[in-house]
């Protein structure tokens, strides 16, 4: 894309009140993308795709290099970002689960300390069960009131756990939380009939859904997911639980106190990344994500809503 288009976009962004009065910002050196997870996971893939698209579509002059800092399930990256306050050459692509963890697990540095830049994609949550185990989501929810239905999921204090707590609270269920080392283990346990239901991202069980061995009962999203496999799956909101909303939303943060002009620059850059064909087909579609883009201000509001309205459920559950 040419420079003039970029300028127009920047002007538009300023006019919309997204950017401050600041002068145009452009990175003067390499930009570090600090990934709070190991190489190879979902967050890492997200970061590497952003860096790849920026490079292949020549969206920026400086190069974006991915640096993995997986320590402490993300707490190390948060602490590192805090030492880089005001640094305009650092981005942190992150899953919202780690922002939730920073509150639920009471990390020293928390999600609101960072500078929100953009929301780039959404990885939805589905409740899945073996075919024939439950007729539909309502039957599973009714059965779970007995307190004997097990719910396979991964680490506590994360967005999976949040989805579970919201479901139990608002649907008055007593699902039993069973903690596994990762979604692969949850799927093994579900197929081996060791747990009754499991929480999955579409990409984690699309193979099983297509084969008909596992049935998606309901989604935790606000709207139904499009596509042949998912369009008939109701949302929990439709079933009468509008408060039960959770997903692994992919957000990009900056370190604390990032300059407004820099935020506007990166916000605009990420918007253009999410508009490329490569992003839409090679990343979003192939990984069964849902397209989603929010600017800096909307991302801030969105995070505030999750943190203020949903995260307190951890405390209520005695966590």
Partner 1 sequence: MRQKAIPALVLLMSAYWFYSGWFVYGVWYAGGLGGGFMPVLSSSLAAIFAIVLLIRGDAAAGAIPWSAFIPVAMVALAVTLSHAIGLLPAVGVMLFVWVWLLERYPFGRALVIAAGPTLAIYGVFRLWLQVPFPTGALFGG
Partner 2 sequence: MTEILSLLGSGFAVALTPTNLMYATIGAAMGLIVGAMPGIGSLAGIALLLPLTFKLDPTGAIIMLAALYYANMYGGSFSAILLNIPGDSPAVMTAVDGYKLTRAGKAGKALFTAIVASMIGGTIGMVILTVMGPLLADVGLRFGPAEMAAVIVLAFTSIGWLLGESPAKGGLATALGLMLACVGVDLARGGSRFAFGLPDLMSGITFVPLVIGMFGFSQVMILMKDFRSQGQDRGLADVGRETLSIRRSVLSRQEFLRILPTAGKSGLLGTFVGVLPGAGATMAAFLCYVLEKRTGRDGARLGEGVYEGVAAPEAGNNAAAAGTFAPLLSLGIPGGGTTAVLLGGLMMWGLTPGPLLFSEQPEFCWGLIASMYVGNIICVFVAIAMIPFVTNILRVPVRIVAPVITAVCVVGAYSVDNTMFDVVVMLAAGLVGFFLTQYAYPTAPLLLAFVLAPILERSSSAAFEISGGSVSIFYESPIALGFLLVIAAICLAPPALKAARGLRRTKQPGE
- Based on the shown chain and the rule CB under 8 A, indicate whether residue 281 belongs to the binding site for partner 1: no
Residue 239 site contact among partner 2, partner 1, none (CB < 5 to 8 Å, cut-off depends on kind)? none
Answer for which of 6, 13, 19, 32 binds partner 1 (CB under 8 A) is 32
Please give the size of the binding site for partner 1, defined by CB under 8 A.
6
Residue 302 site contact among partner 2, partner 1, none (CB < 5 to 8 Å, cut-off depends on kind)? none
Other beta carbons within 10 angstroms of residue 146's beta carbon come to 9
Residue 56: which residues within 8 A CB-CB, separation 6 or more? 278
Residue 88 site contact among partner 1, partner 2, none (CB < 5 to 8 Å, cut-off depends on kind)? none
- Based on the shown chain and the rule CB under 8 A, indicate whether residue 112 belongs to the binding site for partner 1: no
Contact by Cβ (8 Å): 80, 46: no
Contact by Cβ (8 Å): 229, 181: no
Nearer to partner 1, 65 or 172 (CB): 65
- Based on the shown chain and the rule CB under 8 A, indicate whether residue 271 belongs to the binding site for partner 1: no
What backbone phi and psi angles, to 5 degrees, belong to 170? -85, -25
Going residue by residue from 194 to 233, which x/- string records binding to partner 1, judged by CB under 8 A?
Answer: ----------------------------------------
Residue 39 site contact among partner 1, partner 2, none (CB < 5 to 8 Å, cut-off depends on kind)? partner 2
Nearer to partner 2, 160 or 267 (CB): 160
Residue 240: which residues within 8 A CB-CB, separation 6 or more? none
Summarize as ranges the residues that interact with partner 2 (CB under 8 A): 38-41, 44-45, 48, 52, 67-73, 75-76, 78-79, 101, 104-108, 147-148, 150, 155-158, 161, 176-182, 184-185, 187-189, 191-192, 194-195, 203, 206-208, 210-211, 213, 282, 286-287, 319
Binding site for partner 1 (CB under 8 A): 29, 32, 65, 67, 87, 176
């Amino acid at each position: 894309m040419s420079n003039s288009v970029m300028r127009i976009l920047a002007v538009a962004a300023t006019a919309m009140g997204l950017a401050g009065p600041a002068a145009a910002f452009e990175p003067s050196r390499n930009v570090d993308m600090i990934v709070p997870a190991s190489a190879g996971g979902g967050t890492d893939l997200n970061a590497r795709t952003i860096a790849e698209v920026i490079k292949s579509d020549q969206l920026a002059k400086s190069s974006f290099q991915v640096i993995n800092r997986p320590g402490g399930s993300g707490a190390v990256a948060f602490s590192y970002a805090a030492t880089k306050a005001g640094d305009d050459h650092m981005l942190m692509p992150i899953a919202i689960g780690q922002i939730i963890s920073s509150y639920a697990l009471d990390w020293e540095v928390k999600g609101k300390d960072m500078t929100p830049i953009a929301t780039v994609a959404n990885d939805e949550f589905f409740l899945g069960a073996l075919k024939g185990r439950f007729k539909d989501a309502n039957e599973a929810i009714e059965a779970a009131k007995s307190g004997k239905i097990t719910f396979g999921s991964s680490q506590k204090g994360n967005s999976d756990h949040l989805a579970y707590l919201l479901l139990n609270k608002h649907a008055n269920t007593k699902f039993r939380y069973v903690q596994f080392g990762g979604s692969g283990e949850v799927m093994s346990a579900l197929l081996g009939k060791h747990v009754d239901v499991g929480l999955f991202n579409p990409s984690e069980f699309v193979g099983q859904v297509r084969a008909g061995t596992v049935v998606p009962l309901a989604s935790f999203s606000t709207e139904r997911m499009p596509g042949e496999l998912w369009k008939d799956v109701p949302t929990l909101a439709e079933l009468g639980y509008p408060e039960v909303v959770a997903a692994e939303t992919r957000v990009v943060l900056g370190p604390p106190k990032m300059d407004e002009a820099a935020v506007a620059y990166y916000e605009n850059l990420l918007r253009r990344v999410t508009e490329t064909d490569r992003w839409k087909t090679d990343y979003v579609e192939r990984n069964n994500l849902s397209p989603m883009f929010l600017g800096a201000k909307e991302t801030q509001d969105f995070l505030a809503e999750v943190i203020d309205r949903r995260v307190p459920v951890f405390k209520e559950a005695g966590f």
